[in-house]
Amino acid sequence: MAVSTASTTWQPGAAEFVARTFERSDYTNATRFIWSHIRRHPTFALVMVLGSLVNAALASAVPIFMGLAFDHVLGGGGLEYVGWMGLAIIATQLARGVFQFMRNFSSEIFAQRIERDLRDEIYVSLLSKSMTFHDMHPSGEIMARVTNDVREVNFMMNPGLNLIIGSGMFLVMPIFASFAIHPALALTPFGFLLGYVIAQIYYVRSLRTVAQDVRRNFGIMNAQLAETLDGIEVIKGTAQEKKSEQRFHDLVDQVRNAFVRQGDIEANYWALLLLGIATVTGFAHAALLYRQDIIAAGAIVNYMGQIALFGFPVFTSIFAYARLATGHAGAKRILSIIKTETELDQNEAGHNQTMRGEIRFENVHFGYATGKEVLHGISFTIQPGQTVAVVGQTGSGKTTLTKLINRIYDANQGRVLIDGVDVRDWNLACLRSQISVIEQEIFLFSRTIAENIRFGRRDATQAEIETAAADAQAHEFITRFPEGYETVIGQRGVTLSGGQRQRLAIARAFLTDPRILVLDDSTSAIDSATEDQIQKAIWKAAAGRTTLLITHRLSQIRWADLILVMRNGRIVAQGDHDTLLQTSEAYRRIFAQFEDEGEPAHVHGA
């Protein structure tokens, strides 16, 4: 049950499911993780860099042409030369536009492909996680990482990295151009570059912590939103809208405050001051050289134009480096999900056989959290084809017991064996494909009825789907819908009644033809008029396969080959109905209570 997150060089380890691996991804840290995705698209990266380089060079050409034209006019030359300089500026800027388009187009494709790869990778990673992981992480928080954090990495690439590389070229070109005017004039641009780099290092380091706070608070807010939407019926039913609104408002304030702190850091941006100093210093230096007749007046125009190019990296980097910090924080959160692994493993080389259906628990202990056991020393044996009823008060551990059979969770101590083989030694896909579980809370997808029934067997024909539905007593109500089996049901099946949802779940189980069938109070929402038909369908489904019934219905309990009586996470009695009535006081009390309350005794959920 342990969940661990490695902090050193890491490669994917245990996983319940691995659709495919991502060998080219480097999970050592967020920076190397991002770089491993960047280098997958070298062509677009190269075009982006090339476009940035040529764009900066052509931008630097404008003040050169202007300086030449200025000197020509001051020297008494005609306007024809000025016209040629103007045409040269127009030509270079048209070419510059082409290279800008190449840079921006490549960077956008580059960013979108990286976003696509990251979404793919984190989605596969989430599918591989065990229920322990999903129990510990709110779905809204996970959704924030899959959607918003991945999007932030996209923005880090474009416009973030695009502007950083593009503006970086604007930092280099003025140094070379200034040196060409006069070597001494390169001093100010070089000094500015040095100060700019130091300012950016300080800026990014300051942003890093607050950017992580922004992402973390956004995830918390998103988790609260998802929880509210999932529990909206409870909120409305208890008139808690005002308190829910206030709670969400407080979380929104936390997100806002984190953004404000980020804005404060962005406001204290030293590169703006450096630009002003460079402009004044550069102009003074050039004027001094002019007075000494070392450079011409046109050189001052050219030089100041080169200094002005620093304005692009200064003003864009306020935004670009913020995108870099936020994207890096997002990548770090994504990586923390991917690197979290559990002890459950798909065990591809494990036991892979058709089950007979024997189930044996040997002194099994289990708890969802360390030090808090739910099951204590559970031991029993179920023979292939037997039907077993599990009874007990609410919270006695009935549902938990069944989740160890198909390895939704693993026992902390002891063993769970199927056909004499420890479930941990089975190939996980083979194990689960032969066990069908119908939960208390039925989950249906926002798809057609036919797609929901065939979910466990994608190759099922329409005839097989209808047969399974008929066996589950669902065919009749399905055909009453205008679209029949092609009717799209709402999320979680909210457009259906409880009984209809459960019958669809039973049909889905029938279609997979499992060797072991677990029904977790699966007839609790079925009306009495339908119950007899459903009972017949369950008896039919149980024939020839091992069946576990978590139930409070006397008819199902009496019919079972074996009854397990649970109390406080322990099996206090086991045997058939007649034997337990004679030997177990706990069973007699439960049975008597069922009789007093009449069927269905709904107070006894699983």
- Summarised one tens digit per residue, pLDDT across range 33-87 is 999 998 888 898 899 999 999 999 999 999 999 999 988 888 877 788 889 999 9
Query: Distance from CA of residue 451 to its chain's centroid?
Result: 24
Return the number of other C-beta atoms located less than 10 Å from residue 461's C-beta. 10
pLDDT at residue 55 in the model: 93
C-alpha separations of 243 from 64, 224, 247, 249 in Å: 66, 13, 6, 10
Query: Residue 301 carries which side chain, given as an amino acid letter?
Result: V
Considering the four listed CATH numbers 1.20.1640.10, 3.40.50.10470, 3.40.50.970, 3.40.50.300, the one that applies to the domain covering 348-434+519-606 is: 3.40.50.300
User: Given pLDDT bands bounded at 50, 70 and 90, which one contains residue 531?
Assistant: low
Which SS3 state, helix, strand or coil, does residue 198 take? helix
Q: State the pTM of this model.
A: 0.72
The contacts of residue 586 (CB under 8 Å, 6+ apart) are 565, 567, 572, 573
Give me the residue spans of the domains in the chain. Answer: 25-342, 348-434+519-606, 440-513
pLDDT at residue 596 in the model: 55
Q: What is the mean pLDDT of the chain?
A: 84
pLDDT surpassing 90 at residue 381: yes
pLDDT at residue 147 in the model: 84
Strand partners, 421: 418
CATH code assigned to 25-342: 1.20.1560.10
Average pLDDT score over residue span 311-316: 91
Angle at which helices 42-74 and 297-308 cross, to 10°? 150
C-alpha separations of 453 from 379, 465, 466 in Å: 34, 7, 9
Q: Round to whole Å and give the CA distance between 173 and 92.
A: 15
pLDDT at residue 15 in the model: 56
pLDDT surpassing 80 at residue 18: no
User: Given pLDDT bands bounded at 50, 70 and 90, which one contains residue 529?
Assistant: low
Query: Distance from CA of residue 197 to its chain's centroid?
Result: 35
pLDDT tens digits for 486-495?
998 876 666 7
Please tell me which residue, 572 or 525, carries the higher pLDDT value: 572
Token pair in block for residue 64:
């050169």
pLDDT at residue 557 in the model: 83
pLDDT surpassing 70 at residue 453: yes
Please say whether the beta carbons of 347 and 427 come within 8 A.
yes
Phi, psi of 359 (to 5 degrees): -125, 130
Q: Round to whole Å and give the CA distance between 148 and 68.
A: 51
The contacts of residue 120 (CB under 8 Å, 6+ apart) are none
pLDDT at residue 3 in the model: 42
pLDDT surpassing 70 at residue 547: yes
User: Given pLDDT bands bounded at 50, 70 and 90, which one contains residue 218?
Assistant: confident
Burial environment of residue 585 by CB neighbours within 10 A (0 to 12, 13 to 18, 19 or more)? exposed
CA nearest 285: which of 129, 214, 181? 181
pLDDT surpassing 90 at residue 523: no
pLDDT surpassing 50 at residue 157: yes
User: Given pLDDT bands bounded at 50, 70 and 90, which one contains residue 408?
Assistant: confident
Average pLDDT score over residue span 369-376: 85
User: Given pLDDT bands bounded at 50, 70 and 90, which one contains residue 9?
Assistant: very low
pLDDT tens digits for 260-308?
888 888 777 788 889 999 999 999 999 999 999 999 999 999 999 999 9
Average pLDDT score over residue span 448-457: 89
Q: Is 576 left (phi over 0), alpha (psi -120 to 50) or beta?
A: beta
What fold, for 440-513? Answer: Rossmann fold (3.40.50)
Average pLDDT score over residue span 409-425: 93
CA nearest 275: which of 202, 191, 173, 184? 191
pLDDT surpassing 70 at residue 21: no
| Complete DSSP assignment for 436-483 | EEE-SS----SSBHHHHHGGG-TT--HHHHHHHHHHTT-HHHHHTSTT
Please say whether the beta carbons of 517 and 546 come within 8 A.
yes
Please say whether the beta carbons of 142 and 133 come within 8 A.
no
pLDDT surpassing 80 at residue 385: yes
Share of the chain above pLDDT 90, in %: 38
Please tell me which residue, 544 or 356, carries the higher pLDDT value: 356
Q: Give the angle 129-130-136 at the CA atoms, nearest 5°.
A: 95
Per-residue H/E/C for 341-367: EECCCCCCCCECCCCCCCEEEEEEEEC
CA nearest 107: which of 333, 323, 329, 325? 323
Residue indicated by tokens 């990295």: 161
Domains 348-434+519-606 and 440-513 share a fold: yes
